[in-house]
Amino acid sequence: MNENNAQAAAETTDTPIIEVNSMHKWYGDFHVLSDINLQVKEKERIVICGPSGSGKSTLIRCINRLEEHQRGQIIVNGTELTNDIKNIEKVRAEVGMVFQHFNLFPHLTIVENLTLGPIWVRKTPKKEAEEMAMAYLEKVHIAEQAEKFPGQLSGGQQQRVAIARSLCMKPKVMLFDEPTSALDPEMIKEVLDVMIDLAEEGMTMLVVTHEMGFAKSVADRVMFMDEGQVVEENNPNDFFDNPQHERTKLFLSQIL
């Protein structure tokens, strides 16, 4: 199936926007991800949970090629991820990522953090990029901090800026790698609220998180991973009320 057809097919809501087929990944000799199969449709919200070392972060990092997979296929928005740098850049322009430790650029102001991507990757003119940046900053309720530097903001504020920064690239998919794990409890809510708003507006989201409340209220599917494999996958109600595997039951009993 050539690329243009795949692209057109992906635009209809039936074909998955992310397709992971029999994917395996090794770190040297260590088999970190084993036979991962995943189909994500547009506007779907998927929460991935599991114990540390289970490979959940590695999985989503493979989707925007921050990590390479050695076997299997990953197709994002019709483009297959291979060593071809052009494909990688194409995928990265459509996939936004929010990191556990925010990774804002400390030497730039908040507004500059947001306009950097649009100006240099999408070639948006500066004024237009700034207007868009301010609009997104309004959306995450942090417009008044626009001229400050990341070091002057609290963790929750920085994470909201990070989300706005990814949104400025108008991605089709947003990946969240434990977005609230580095925040103290008072700030977790403000970030989750922004994520819930995003979900309600129809953004396709893959979220690695331990926030089960978020999973219950927003997710279309919850995936449980352990030791590099997807152990169980279900809609939130069935997942939490009726876990099938022993491992899932053990995990849920510890965190709920």
Given the rule CB under 8 A, which of 20-28, 38-46, 94-102, 185-193 is the region that contacts other proteins? 94-102
- Ordered DSSP codes for 61-120: HHHTTSS--SEEEEEETTEE-SS-HHHHHHHHHHEEEE-TT----TTS-HHHHHHHHHHH
Stretch that binds other proteins, among 6-14, 92-100, 180-188, 228-236 (CB under 8 A): 92-100
Q: Which of 215, 144, 199 is nearest to 167 (CA)?
A: 199
Nearer to other proteins, 57 or 209 (CB): 57
- Judged by beta carbon, residue 40 or residue 175, the one nearer other proteins is 175
Say whether residue 96 binds other proteins (CB under 8 A). yes
| CA 125/CA 53 separation, integer angstroms | 43
Judged by CB under 8 A, which of 116, 135, 196, 252 binds other proteins?
A: 116
| CA-wise closest residue to 37 among 204, 225, 256, 252 | 225
Q: Does 103 bind other proteins (CB under 8 A)?
A: yes
Nearest to 36 by CA among 50, 47, 49, 22: 22
Shortest Å, Cβ 89 to other proteins = 6
Is 27 a binding residue for other proteins by CB under 8 A? The answer is no
17, 81, 97, 205: residue in contact with other proteins (rule CB under 8 A): 97
Which residues, numbered 117-176, are part of the site for other proteins (CB under 8 A)? 117, 120-121, 148-152, 165-166, 169
Look at residues 59, 24, 34, 37 and name the one whose alpha carbon lies nearest to residue 233. 37
> What φ, ψ does residue 25 adopt, rounded to 5°?
-140, 140
CB of 255 to other proteins, least distance (A): 26
Q: Say if residues 40 and 53 touch (Cβ distance below 8 Å).
A: no
Distance CA(69)–CA(101), nearest Å, equals 24
Nearer to other proteins, 55 or 117 (CB): 117
Asked if residue 40 lies in contact with residue 204, where contact means CB atoms within 8 angstroms, the answer is yes
Q: How far apart are CB 149 and other proteins at their closest, in Å?
A: 3
Contact positions vs other proteins (CB under 8 A): 64-66, 89, 92-93, 95-97, 99, 101, 103-107, 116-117, 120-121, 148-152, 165-166, 169
